[in-house]
Structure 1
Amino acid sequence: MKWLLLLSLVALSQCRVTKVSLKKGKSLRQNLKEHGLLKDFLRNHPYNVASKYFPNLSNEFASEPLTNYMDMEYYGTISIGTPPQEFSVLFDTGSSNLWVPSVYCSSTSCTNHNKFNPSDSSTYEATNESLSIQYGSGSMTGFLAYDTVQIGGIVDTKQIFGLSETEPGTAFEYSEFDGILGLAFPSIASSGATPVFDNMMNEGLVSQDLFSVYLSSDEQSGSFVMFGGIDSSYYSGSLNWIPLSAETYWEITMDSITMNGETIACSSGCQAIIDTGTSLLAGPSTGISNIESYIGASDGTVRISCSAMSSLPNIVFNINGIEFPVPASAYIIDSGSCSSGFESIDVPTSSGELWILGDIFIRQYYVVFDRANNQVALASVA
């Protein structure tokens, strides 16, 4: 009995809940502006946010438009290898691969970021597999390998990850993060690589097969992603559970979008993806036009009077029979001048309209991503 108790305690000690702090860094837009490069970047890198979810809109590779990070970036620190080599990564629920720059990268983007050196790790295992990911504003190419990845207190051994050899363009060069850690489903992972959280679950490294996210509105601190647990002190009321409609991205069915009780978009129901890797709220151009007309945003520039913010209504996302309001203080971006936090995407889908609930939405709600039951939960932040 004594030995059984000891073994039970050992097993429990290996199942962890770990919280990784996320830093809200200087935006890519701000960095480019400070270097006098913003105008050229916007002219030379047109993109379609929908190409992240529909790669055929870009090319045959998985796509993730990094220009979504231009207005906000949330990133945290992980380590790879033995002894550990540290990297800042974007924790992205809209993609599934982990990759970081490598010492073999010849691009300018790699010169001012941390680079993984395989020869410095005793636990590194090479493969012959290549990795290519096309982004809306550039791309990365490299190869896959295995090594120990440490995230907070969790040690994830034999994790497959990408090492970049090329990172063309300026998006990576002026971003404050080194790489990306995808938290979506294995079905969308490039080159069939097992995502980090799947490896954690497979190895029994988390006490529950879920993770949760809190994005603070504060300038620097407070945000986190928690693996294996839920911190109830960060939300008020109860968690509202919503079943997934697809096991690719964290996709759910939305009932409608309303303002002042009037349906202005998604009138017949639509699909929505909850994505920490997208800054804004994105949807079909017709719905976005309705919203921007309603709030008085100028055509083409989506500029809006900052003084109007206090009188604008909530936009309400009706999901699974529950109302999730987002106030004007969240959906209007004030960076000296004010603009709409909405963005148009138009994609052909068999399920109708597609909306992306990015960081503007997530900052209002504590989100639980439950892989055990294929569902998400939302609760108002405390």
Structure 2
Amino acid sequence: MREPAGPRVETMIEDLRTLVEVESPSRDVAALTASAEAVAGVIERRLGGRAVLVASEAGPHVHWSGGGEPAVLILGHHDTVFPLGTLSRRPFTVQDGRATGPGVFDMLGGLVQAVHGVAMLADRSGVEILVTADEEVGSRASRALLEERALACGAVLVVEGAADGGALKTGRKGCGTFEIAVTGRAAHAGLEPAAGVNALVEAAHQVLAVAALSRPAVGTTVTPTVAAAGTLDNVVPAEATVVVDVRVATTAEKDRVEAGFAALAPHLDGARIEVRGGIGRPPMPESASAALFALAQELLPGIGSATVGGGSDGNFTAALGVPTLDGLGAVGGGAHADHEHLLTATMPERATLIANLITALRTHPR
């Protein structure tokens, strides 16, 4: 059977424009419904068949199957971090080989490349595409589904944006967010400060305690990022909160850090603390991607690899023991920032790599 012609960058840019111009901020179910419909439309137009919208409390996920025995899951997401109205300030633009606009790199460009890669295959059996609606906010409404399909397929290609220079992401840190809620007791800051229990001072003690859990030498970072306390400048604050970002490279460090948070105790008499959250995405070890990356090197000699601090849904599939290769999406940069961009000339090559990986995996499963 003759394979379809390779992807044209102009056609890929048209599809990218279609997706970018339907804004899709996480947690906005109405916007994500429109976005899911746009994603499904692109998939059906290029691949045929039916892209099913899977309802969830976070918004619709999009699932497409080429039929036959499941063999390869292409995994992505259509939610973005940008609020409604960003498009009017930063519209989709292509200039000097760079596409810009909210979500082009993370990760709408990767979705387009994946669809056009699958379109290169005359036989699409065994291929599934799952595009979730809540990856940017923890994947709570999609985790069970993506894990189910990963186990059924046995190999996962994640089309998150590439690392620097187009490198594939062969390892990711586990990541999570903790919140420390402090309860003290209010009092007049001038008349009787000693009658209060200063929640802000207690929070300061907790910040120092959790920051001490960092071990940068082994890839563990524990970073207090947001704090709030107090009501008026003459009132001893009765409440405070501290939000902490955590990244770990190993399961052992995940366990150590979580135990450290569980062991936190108040420093001030009368203060109370409550710790919420955890490390929701387990680490993705390089061993999970070793065989797939070796295959990618055979197909595209010279392609690089990187271990990165950010998490993705590949963390979940790798933790199941399913071979997972990440960073197959757009080449560019500026994720979550105004300078987000995609290098359009790289799009056909990345689509071709996805097509060739699928062919190799169906021929010789790993």
* Higher normalized strand content (fraction of residues): 1
Greater RCO (CA < 8 Å, at least 6 residues apart): 2
Same fold (TM over 0.5): no
TM-score (norm 2): 0.27
Q: Which structure is larger by alpha-carbon Rg, 1 or 2?
A: 2
* Higher normalized helix content (fraction of residues): 2
TM-score (norm 1): 0.26
